[in-house]
Amino acid sequence: MATEQINAVGRRKTSVARVYLRPGNGTWSVNGRTLEAHLPRHVLQQSASRPLVATQTDGQYDVKVTVAGGGLRGQADAIRLGVARALVKINEDFRPTLRAEGLLTRDPREVERKKPGRPGARKRFQFSKR
């Protein structure tokens, strides 16, 4: 099973990341660019590659990602979930480690919709007594 390509999907807010893992030397391709080019902030790069670091498989797999929607933080977290799910498909023994790090949980928080007659989802216009 280790010779073929494994794929998984990760989501966060409005971002969707399709992650493909195959045995290799640790190269990243995110929408045809390197991880550093797509996620310029070091914190986001660390977040995206955290499942590989947690399972000590950092240089063993080539990661190819197509990600769409949302901002950089949402995309980084979607990539992180996709990589974690792909690693579990590769080796079920990674599940307790990734679960303990909280990397297999999909963050359900989404932006609340704007309501009619209000400036935002919860905010109200300024009240005037007179």
| Domains, in order of start, for the chain | 6-100 (3.30.230.10)
45: tokens are: 């790069």
Helix (H, G, I), strand (E, B) or coil at 95: helix
Question: Virtual CA dihedral for 83, 84, 89, 91, nearest 10 degrees?
Answer: 120
Q: What is the pTM of this model?
A: 0.91
Mean pLDDT, the chain, as a whole number? 94
How much of the chain exceeds pLDDT 90, in percent? 95
pLDDT at 1 over 90: no
CB 98 within 8 A of CB 54: yes
Instruction: Tell me the mean pLDDT in the region 12-31.
Output: 95
Q: CA-CA distance, 18 to 79, in Å (whole number)? A: 8
pLDDT at 2 over 80: no
Q: What is the pLDDT of residues 61-73, one digit of tens each?
A: 999 999 999 999 9
Cross-strand bridge partners of residue 18? 9, 66
Instruction: Tell me the mean pLDDT in the region 111-118.
Output: 95
pLDDT in the model for residue 31: 95
pLDDT in the model for residue 3: 62
CB 4 within 8 A of CB 89: no
